[in-house]
């Protein structure tokens, strides 16, 4: 197993923590975008409820609301591509987070992450070989997406209220 205070394991665990926190920021930004579309732009006409915690439900929401032929699909043509990117990042995040529980260090500085993945009929082992630099690059990519989504959410959540004249004013306005 691993030795406590081993610099290699300490660095790896720090990077895995960076993946977890950065992904949480991205997912929160995605949640805010979904809320903006649902409450402020009328996506509630296409779906009956907001997805709460499961990423697959959030992706299902995006794919339903932004399907080809819908008003949202026409107005926001890149959202399905964004959903694909989020899904790819979520799978990669799961491999890193859950694979860190069963890993092997190689002499070249890379690490093999192993995890069990549930399929419809059984479990299968998934192995991914990563370097610390790869994980750092992934953190950067997820962070960039998080900032894009946060800025987009700000527009979705603030702009419609301004357009409708519902923005609070006067003392105590936020």
Q: Is residue 75 part of a domain?
A: yes
Q: Is residue 124 part of a domain?
A: no
Q: Is residue 117 part of a domain?
A: no
Domain containing 147 equals: 10-99+136-161
Burial (CB count <10 Å: 0-12, 13-18, 19+), residue 148: middle
20 with 26: CB under 8 angstroms? no
Quote the pLDDT of residue 118.
83
The length of the chain is 174
pTM of the model: 0.83
Q: Is residue 118 part of a domain?
A: no
Q: What is the pLDDT along the chain (174 residues), one digit of tens a residue?
A: 556 667 888 888 899 999 999 999 999 999 999 999 999 999 999 998 999 889 999 999 999 999 998 999 999 999 999 999 999 999 999 999 988 888 888 888 888 888 888 888 998 888 888 889 999 999 999 999 999 999 999 999 875 544 444 444 444 433
Q: Is residue 128 part of a domain?
A: no
How many structural domains compose the chain? Answer: 1
Q: Kindly list the strands in the beta sheet with 103-105, ordered across the sheet, starting from the edge strand earlier in the chain.
A: 103-105, 111-118, 123-130
Quote the pLDDT of residue 168.
41
Q: Is residue 26 part of a domain?
A: yes
């Amino acid at each position: 197993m691993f030795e406590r205070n081993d610099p290699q394991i300490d660095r790896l665990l720090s990077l895995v923590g960076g993946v977890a926190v950065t992904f949480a920021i991205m997912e929160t930004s995605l949640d805010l975008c979904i809320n903006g579309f649902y409450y402020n732009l009328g996506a509630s006409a296409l779906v009956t409820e907001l997805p709460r915690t499961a990423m697959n439900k959030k992706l299902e929401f995006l794919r339903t609301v932004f399907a080809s032929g819908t008003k949202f699909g026409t107005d926001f043509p890149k959202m399905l591509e964004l959903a694909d990117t989020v899904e790819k990042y979520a799978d990669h995040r799961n491999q890193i987070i859950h694979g860190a529980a069963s890993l092997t260090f190689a002499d070249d500085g890379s690490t093999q992450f192993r995890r069990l993945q549930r399929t419809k009929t059984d479990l299968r082992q998934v192995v991914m070989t990563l370097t610390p630099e790869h994980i750092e690059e992934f953190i950067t990519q997820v962070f960039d997406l998080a900032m894009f989504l946060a800025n987009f959410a700000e527009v979705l959540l603030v702009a419609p209220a301004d357009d409708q004249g519902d923005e609070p004013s006067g003392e105590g306005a936020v």
